Chains A and B, each alone.
Chain A
Amino acid sequence: MTSTIDKLRAIVWRDLLTAIRHRSGFVVTLAGLLIELAAFYFLSRAIGPGFRPGGVEYFPFLMVGTGVYTFFVMSAQAFLSAVQEAQQTGTLEVLMTTSTAPAELLVLSSFSAFAGNLVNLLVYFFAGVAVFRASIHANVLSCVAVLVFSLAIALALGIAAATLQVAFQKGSALLWLLGSGVWFLSGTMFPIQSLPCPLELLARALPLTYAVDGTRQALLEGRSIAAMAPTLAALAGFSLVLLPLALGGLLLSLRRARQDGTLSFY
């Protein structure tokens, strides 16, 4: 356990130092978040106060939808970039020869990638409330519960992208899918009930839909854990299925890459 904490500390410290030494990176990210929020604020004003999807104001609805969606995509992207960079420099092969098991190493690395984007998400919500006066009624316990399951699902997506990258050198395919189809099916910008029936059914099969909806229920409506039990159960179900599947896939792809000698192919 001590050794795992020490490894996690080393990975987070490496990523923090690398991020800091990119100098203006943090400022650019922060500016990007504020500009995005401003765009959604003015969009909601243009649409007018009459549009209240699910009974909440449109700006907080947009803020949560886009914030959670961006967290998922950017976390998976950050983790995938780390794997791609390690392949290009040859670091991945060396990392696979350390005393740390490959699966442990990749899961710890993904935690670090997600931690950075979780900070961005919290800054995004804070700026939405403090600067653009988004009204929230948070239930802290429910928020934590949704966050834990959402993290597990995001972790599974990141690991799945890394698996595709190691196996076929095409981890970006999953991100493309997230970026093209999933964003409009998961209720990011409008309620999924607006979709035609077949698409609504498809939307209900996506874990991101429940992460977005759950965050809205917990953060904007202040629902208790009991009141949002169906959403939490769906999130738990997705976590329990997707995380072991992604980990199993990653282990298989790493084994195949060691067999074929393609660990550093990119």
Chain B
Amino acid sequence: MDRVEFESVRKIFRHRPALFNWLGRERGGVTIALKDVSFSAGCAEILVLLGPNGSGKTTALKLISTMLLPDAGAVRVGGFDAERDAGRVRRQVGIAVATERSFFPRLSARENLEFFGALDEVSRRERAQRIDAVLRDTGLEEQADTLVMKFSSGMYQRLGIARALVKRPSVLLLDEPTRSLDAANAAHLWTAVRALARQQTTVLLATHNFAEAVAVADRLLLLHRGELLANRPVSDGESAETLRSFYFQMTGEIDEALAPGNRSLR
């Protein structure tokens, strides 16, 4: 059975101007973030959502995590509907968001993880052991008792991943997980992601980094302006360059690396 199912999902953001909007220049209207997108992810599969900024990758992850509700269609995790059975879905899903500072600044890394672990209903007996393990896995052991207000961007990002892992989710959502990481830490994360998939975790990873996509993906979803342009497996040994060519061919965007004469920003 598929662990994550997206069935004709549509998500629209409506921009309602302020009451006295005529005083300023705020624009109303709608943004269609996802247009009838359907896909599924199986047990132990690593699915990479690839696309430029504003393509709908983060919206898709937020819908799975129940942070957002769909306007049409259905999102299911482990057979449970994300709208009607949000509680059951949340118990299965762990999300590492791209927002770096989503922690309590005057608590240490360990105290933050203990807090979120309690809310994720990890028993007190198991919590300390699990927290030690995720701190070790994300390379934050030495900073475990440092207040997070003193953390760098990369440390925040690793702590976000640690937080998502404490509850041992069956579905792990990673939103641009290596954005603030150096090359060594990024490579370490990709190894960890593959190890999680071997332990039957389904991983959905949003990125616009071709190297990251080919390094971890079993399958690739290419999103562009809210539309799903491609849903295909990633073959062993596929290079970032091949994927790059595929991406520009599918999206119709101009690869400026290949067309140095065209310098206009789109």
Contact in complex: A97, B107 (CB < 8 Å): no
Other-chain residue from A3, A9, A17, A260 in contact with B121 (beta carbon distance below 8 A): A3
**Chain B: CB-nearest residue to A94:** B102
Q: Which of A's residues lie within 8 Å of B, judged by CB?
A: 3, 6-7, 9-11, 13-14, 17-18, 21-22, 89-91, 93-101, 105, 255, 258-261, 263-264
Q: Is B43 an interface residue (CB 8 A)?
A: no
Contact in complex: A14, B69 (CB < 8 Å): no
Q: Is B136 an interface residue (CB 8 A)?
A: no
Contacts of A89 in B (CB 8 A): 99, 101-103, 105
Q: Is B208 an interface residue (CB 8 A)?
A: no
Contact in complex: A98, B87 (CB < 8 Å): no
What is the CA–CA distance of A89 and B69 in the complex, to the nearest angstrom?
A: 21
Most buried by B among A90, A97, A98, A260: A97
CB distance from B98 to the nearest CB of A (A): 9
Contact in complex: A258, B103 (CB < 8 Å): no
A-B contact count (CB 8 A): 89
Q: Is B250 an interface residue (CB 8 A)?
A: no
Give the 4 A-B CB pairs with smallest separation, nearest first: A90-B99, A10-B118, A90-B102, A98-B119
Contact in complex: B87, A101 (CB < 8 Å): yes
- Indicate the size class of the contact surface on chain B: 35 or more
Other-chain residue from B66, B99, B114, B121 in contact with A97 (beta carbon distance below 8 A): B66
Contacts of B91 in A (CB 8 A): 99
* Additional A-B contacts beyond A14-B104, A14-B111 (11; CB < 8 A): A6-B118, A7-B119, A18-B104, A89-B101, A91-B103, A94-B116, A95-B119, A97-B67, A99-B120, A100-B119, A261-B13
- Interface mask (B82-122 → A, CB under 8 Å = 1, otherwise 0): 00000100110101010101111111000100111011110
Given contacts A18-B104, A94-B102, contact A99 B95 (CB under 8 A): no
Q: Is B65 an interface residue (CB 8 A)?
A: yes
CB distance from B126 to the nearest CB of A (A): 12
Q: Is B147 an interface residue (CB 8 A)?
A: yes
